[in-house]
Chains A and B, each alone.
Chain A
C-alpha cells in the first residue's frame, strides 16, 4: 500500500523535518537541567524547586556512550519487521546537555561500524507502517568524515 501519511511515532518529541531533524527536550528555568523526553511540571533536581520549563532543541550531534544490537525480534509493543532483520541500538551522550539518549542506529549501520566515542547525529527513519501511515522515529547516524 502506498504511504500517504508520515507522522511522528511520538508527536512533539522531535521536529519532523527531514532537512533539520531535532530532538525536542525541556530545560528547567531555575537550575538549567535538561530533560528528554520532555518534562515540564516539577524539576527532578532535588535541590531545585523549579516549575517553569523552556522547550529546547537538543544538540543534534553527540558521541556514542555505548552500543549493541537486537539479534532476535523484540516482543510487542515493538513492531518487528517480517522477515526480521537485526538492528543496532546506541546510547548517545550530548555534550552540552550532559545527557545520554537511547535510539536505534540508522538502517544499515551495524555494531561493527561504530565504536564508543564515535560522533553520530539525529536522523528520522520509519519505525513501522500501519495502513497507509508511516510512523517515524529518531535514530542515530554516524557523522561521515566528509563532514556532512
Chain B
C-alpha cells in the first residue's frame, strides 16, 4: 500500500568537472531546493546526506557537513552510504522519519567531486576488500563489468553494436535541452561507433564519465504540504532491496557469483526485483508510467532497464529503442534528462538528480525536453555491493 510523502522542492548544481569542494555544490542545490519549496532552512527538522568516499571525512559525514555549511540549527541528521543508491537511501531515510511522525519537513542532499579517469579503489593494501582485489588480480575496472553484461546482450539477444550506440544518440539529443547536463552535444551513430573501444563491445561514448555535481530535495508530510497550499508531486514508493541468494549475475565488485549448487537461482534477477518491489509498493505497473529515468552507466545497461521495468520482454530492449518508443514523444520516454550519458556520474547526487528530473517533468517545467501529460515517473539505479534503488513519483 502506498504511503506518500510530498516533494516540495528540488534543486541541482550543474554537473561538470568543476574541481571545487563538493560541499559548495551541495549547498547550492540545497538552497535552490529550499527556494523552490518555499521553505526556510531554519524550518527543516531533519537532514539526510548522501555520502561520498572520495572527499575525506566531510564526505563520510555528509549529513553533518551540509547541515554545518547551511548553518547549524539543531536539526537532526543522518549520513547514508549505499554506493550508487546513496541518494535514494538518504531520501528513504528522510521519508521514514516523516512517515514515523518524527519530522514534518526534511532536506536530502548529495554532492561529489570526482577525479579524472577510471574510478579506482581506495589506496593502501587491502587484500580482504573485493573492490581492491578485482583491480589487483584482474584489472577489472567498472567498464569491464558493464561490458560483460553488454556482451551477453549482444551474443544472446541479437542486439547489435548499432543498437547500443543508438542509446547514446537518443540521450545526447535529450541532454541538449538540459541546463544541468555536463555534455550538451548531439552525436551521430557514426561518431559513437568510431569512438575507441574501452572494454569490448563498449566504446568511449557508451560509458558514463565521472562528474562533479549536487542535487537536493525537500520532502514533507502531506499534511505539512497542505498547510502550504501546495499541489506537490508525491513519492509513492522507494525500493532499496538487496539481491536474493544465490545472486548469479556477476555484479560489481565481486570476483565470483554466489553458487547455485544447493539453492536454485531466484526467478527474478536483481534489476527486475528492484523494480518489482517499487511497483508493488506504489500499487502500479509498467502501463501506468509516463516516463523513466534509468541508470545508463553503459548504453547497453539502459536496455537492461527497459526489460526490468517490464516495458518489453527480456531480450527485446533494442526493439523498443528501434521503434522510437523510448524517445521523447514515444510511448514511454526514457532518460528525457539526457541520462548519465549526458551527466556523467556524481555518485551520491545521481539518484537524487533522477528524482529532480521526474519532478520537473511532472510539473510540466522541463521546457524543450518535456514529456507530454507526464503523471507517473520512475527511477532505476544500481551500484556496487548489492545496492540498487527505484523511486516512483506521481502528481
Q: How far is B130's CA from A10's CA once the two chains are assembled, in angstroms?
A: 13
By the criterion CB–CB under 8 Å, are A67 and B151 in contact? yes
- Is A6 located at the chain interface by the 8 A CB criterion? no
Contacts of B1 in A (CB 8 A): none
Q: How far is B259's CA from A37's CA once the two chains are assembled, in angstroms?
A: 11
**Majority secondary structure, A binding face:** loop
By the criterion CB–CB under 8 Å, are B125 and A77 in contact? yes
By the criterion CB–CB under 8 Å, are A101 and B262 in contact? no
Given A71-B198, A102-B140, residue A76 in contact with residue B135 (CB < 8 A): yes
- Is A4 located at the chain interface by the 8 A CB criterion? no
Given A45-B245, A89-B144, residue A99 in contact with residue B259 (CB < 8 A): yes
By the criterion CB–CB under 8 Å, are B147 and A68 in contact? yes
Q: Which of B148, B246, B263 contacts A91 (CB 8 A)?
A: B148
- Is B102 located at the chain interface by the 8 A CB criterion? no
Contacts of B200 in A (CB 8 A): 68-69, 71, 111
| Chain A: minimal CB distance from B210 (Å) | 12
Q: Which of B121, B134, B261 contacts A96 (CB 8 A)?
A: B261
Given A37-B256, A99-B261, residue A71 in contact with residue B137 (CB < 8 A): no
Q: How far is B119's CA from A76's CA once the two chains are assembled, in angstroms?
A: 11
By the criterion CB–CB under 8 Å, are A32 and B261 in contact? yes
By the criterion CB–CB under 8 Å, are A71 and B199 in contact? yes
Contacts of A73 in B (CB 8 A): 139
- Is B96 located at the chain interface by the 8 A CB criterion? no
By the criterion CB–CB under 8 Å, are B134 and A102 in contact? yes
By the criterion CB–CB under 8 Å, are A47 and B263 in contact? yes
Q: How far is B262's CA from A80's CA once the two chains are assembled, in angstroms?
A: 38
Q: How far is B264's CA from A45's CA once the two chains are assembled, in angstroms?
A: 11
Q: Interface 1/0s, chain A 70-89, versus B by CB < 8 A?
A: 11111111101000000101
Residue among B117, B197, B261 with max Cβ neighbours from chain A (10 Å): B261
Contacts of A74 in B (CB 8 A): 118, 135, 139-141
- Is B260 located at the chain interface by the 8 A CB criterion? yes
Binding site for A on B (CB under 8 A): 117-118, 120-121, 125, 127, 132-141, 144, 147-152, 155-156, 196-202, 245-246, 248, 250, 254-263
